[in-house]
């Protein structure tokens, strides 16, 4: 009986050992599965971190572009803020120039000198605000700077050349404030041969 008991204890110990190996085997497999899960989670976290970094860089670039655009718009606003008032002054200058032309033909020197002084002052004001007169006569017609009011036949000038200035044009900081109204040259018509 004593031997039977020892045998039972040995069998039970063997089962425990076998169960322990199985447990150990399960622990190794579990560790491997756990390691794979952790590796997958790490890869997912790294991918998410890269995606978040990409979003951050894009947002930062968008913010930088917004700042630059805002700064550019602010500079343009300051640069061209006087455009409306200057556009209103231009007809006054035109009328003063017409008065000078009229006074020169009538021979009134007092009026002529006063208007010349006023026109000179206006010229200084325009210069102060970076307004420049568009040169037109003798230049090729440029639709971005000139407004053609008509054509004149001319043998002396090549076609599409400005031959007469009707109203001056102006630029404000190299941007068109008002186009010059001009007459442009066109080739003379060929003489019509009369049939006899």
Q: Where are the alpha helices (DSSP H) in 80-108?
A: 83-106
Please state, for a pLDDT cut of 70, what percent of the chain lies above it. Answer: 79
Has residue 66 been placed in a domain? Answer: yes
pLDDT at 17 over 50: no
Q: Do the strands 162-167 and 180-186 form a parallel or antiparallel pair, or are they unpaired?
A: antiparallel
CB 136 within 8 A of CB 165: yes
Is the same domain home to 85 and 119?
A: yes
How crowded is the C-beta side of 149, counted as CA atoms within 13 Å?
A: 11
Is the same domain home to 114 and 47?
A: no
User: Where residue 178 sits, what CATH number does that domain have?
Assistant: 2.30.22.10
- Among 79, 102, 121, give the residue marking a domain's end: 79
pLDDT at 9 over 60: no
Is the same domain home to 14 and 58?
A: yes
The structure's pTM equals 0.53
CB 86 within 8 A of CB 172: yes
pLDDT for the residue numbered 81: 82
Report the domain count for the chain.
Answer: 3
Is the same domain home to 122 and 149?
A: no
- Among 46, 79, 112, give the residue marking a domain's end: 79
Q: Do the strands 180-186 and 146-153 form a parallel or antiparallel pair, or are they unpaired?
A: parallel
pLDDT for the residue numbered 56: 95
Q: How confident is the model at residue 29 (pLDDT cuts 50, 70, 90)?
A: low
pLDDT tens, residue by residue, 80-128: 888 888 888 888 888 888 877 777 776 667 777 778 888 888 888 888 8
Mean pLDDT of 141-148: 89
Has residue 102 been placed in a domain? Answer: yes
- Among 45, 79, 113, give the residue marking a domain's end: 79
- Residues with Cβ within 8 Å of residue 157, at least 6 apart in sequence: 163, 185
Under DSSP, is residue 184 helix (H, G, I), strand (E, B) or coil? strand
Is the same domain home to 109 and 38?
A: no
- For every residue of 4-23, DSSP letters joined together read HHHHHHHHHHHHHHHHHHHH
Has residue 195 been placed in a domain? Answer: no
Task: Give the range of the structural domain holding residue 118, as residue numbers without chain letter.
Answer: 81-129
Strand partners, 167: 181
Has residue 194 been placed in a domain? Answer: no
Is the same domain home to 1 and 59?
A: yes
pLDDT for the residue numbered 158: 85
Is the same domain home to 74 and 1?
A: yes
């Amino acid at each position: 009986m004593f031997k039977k008991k020892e045998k039972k204890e040995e069998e039970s110990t063997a089962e425990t050992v076998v169960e322990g190996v199985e447990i150990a085997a399960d622990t190794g497999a579990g560790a491997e599965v756990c390691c794979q899960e952790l590796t997958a989670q790490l890869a997912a976290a790294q991918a998410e971190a890269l995606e978040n970094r990409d979003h951050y860089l894009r947002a930062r670039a968008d913010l930088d572009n917004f700042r630059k655009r805002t700064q550019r718009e602010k500079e343009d606003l300051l640069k061209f803020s006087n455009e409306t008032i200057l556009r209103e002054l231009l007809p006054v200058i035109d009328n003063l120039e017409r008065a000078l032309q009229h006074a020169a033909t009538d021979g009134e020197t007092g009026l002529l000198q006063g208007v010349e002084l006023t026109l000179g002052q206006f010229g200084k004001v325009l210069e102060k605000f970076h307004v420049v007169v568009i040169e037109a006569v003798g230049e090729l017609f440029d639709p971005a700077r000139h407004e053609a009011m008509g054509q004149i036949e001319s043998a002396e000038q090549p076609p599409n050349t400005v031959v007469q200035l009707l109203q001056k044009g102006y630029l404000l900081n190299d941007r068109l404030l008002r186009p010059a109204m001009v007459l442009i040259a066109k080739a003379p018509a060929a003489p019509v041969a009369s049939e006899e």
